[in-house]
Copies of this chain bind each other. A is one copy, B any other.
């Protein structure tokens, strides 16, 4: 065989890809486990699950579990099972989210609810959620079960809180942070924590990684919510503007609302009451821009990344903490 040696271009590799390369053996085992454990004699289950799991997700949450385990001394097969469980909990949440939001696109593909219907999405989500617990039980660790089961109920609580807040038309910063900590950051934190615990890490490392995950998760959601308004370019694509249309008060809207007066404030109140008119989104983008609301949201994300990296400093130096810090920066920087 004729092999051509290609030089590695450091700039073409994202920190996520670099982390995936370092964790290649356990990540490959996790991919195999994901495939094996979504199998079922009921063909609709793997059909729906594969659609979502294969849709080009970056496996960020399982990577966190594997990275936390490796940096704390390993974790072996238990870490692989936990990483798989974390991905299944995440996938189940996405399936149910898309039903709840009536979404038709995710990661550029038609959503499962659009292809197979809401019923299949609800039930296959339930299956993946239950399967996640099967995997956790197999690790024989009540401690990680406790952490991930608590994260699971926190996620559901956050989703219900978001639903209730949206239907009341609230625009509250503290309520927003409560929602994103529960629905997003809790699983990032639990993914890190479970990985550390399964590797037998001392309490100090476990807590450091949990803080890292929590702050990374908050930043991740803030960036996601900034991108839904087109990020700094504030140009909307076909996957953006959903939060505004659904009347979800995310941080860019909340900051613009806080900084608005007079007519602008009346505009937001009408929007939050979901009395939409044509051209509302353009007016919203223009007010957001005038008040620097997207930039302010990204700045809050940067603050959380800073806290995430400070937590990492409590771990012994090594390639994994370095890559985790790079990954944390990358979550915000690639969009600024």
Contact = CB atoms under 8 A, between A and B. Distances in A.
Interface of A: 40-45, 96, 99-100, 118-120, 122-127, 129-131, 133-134, 136-137, 140, 142, 145-146, 149-150, 152-153, 155-157, 159-161, 163-164
Contacts of A99: 118-119, 122
Given A127-B153, A137-B146, A42 B120 contact: no
Given A42-B160, A134-B146, 13 more contacts: A40-B160, A43-B164, A96-B123, A99-B118, A99-B119, A125-B126, A126-B156, A129-B130, A130-B152, A130-B153, A130-B155, A133-B153, A137-B142
- Which of A124, A146, A156 has the most C-beta atoms of chain B within 10 angstroms of its own C-beta? A156
A137 B143 CA distance: 9
A100 B123 contact: yes
Contact of A134 (B126, B129, B149, B163): B149
Contact of A137 (B41, B123, B145): B145
Contacts of A41: 157
Contacts of A156: 123-124, 126-127, 129-130
Chain A residues touching B, majority SS: helix
Q: Assembly of this chain: how many copies? A: 2
Nearest to A89: B130
17 contacts: A44-B160, A96-B123, A99-B119, A100-B119, A119-B163, A120-B160, A122-B122, A126-B129, A127-B153, A127-B156, A129-B129, A129-B156, A130-B149, A134-B150, A136-B149, A137-B146, A145-B145
A232 to B, nearest CB: 32
A149 B134 CA distance: 6
A45 B163 contact: no
A157 B122 contact: no
Contacts of A43: 164
Contact of A44 (B120, B127, B133, B163): B163
A160 to B, nearest CB: 5
Contacts of A145: 133, 137, 142, 145
Contacts of A157: 40-42, 45, 127
Given A134-B153, A137-B149, A159 B123 contact: yes
A133 B119 contact: no
Contacts of A125: 126
Contacts of A100: 118-119, 122-123
Contacts of A131: 153
A156 B121 CA distance: 11
Given A129-B129, A133-B133, A149-B134, A160 B118 contact: no
B163 A120 contact: yes
B163 A123 contact: yes
Nearest to A102: B119
Contacts of A44: 160, 163-164
Contact of A142 (B45, B119, B142, B160): B142
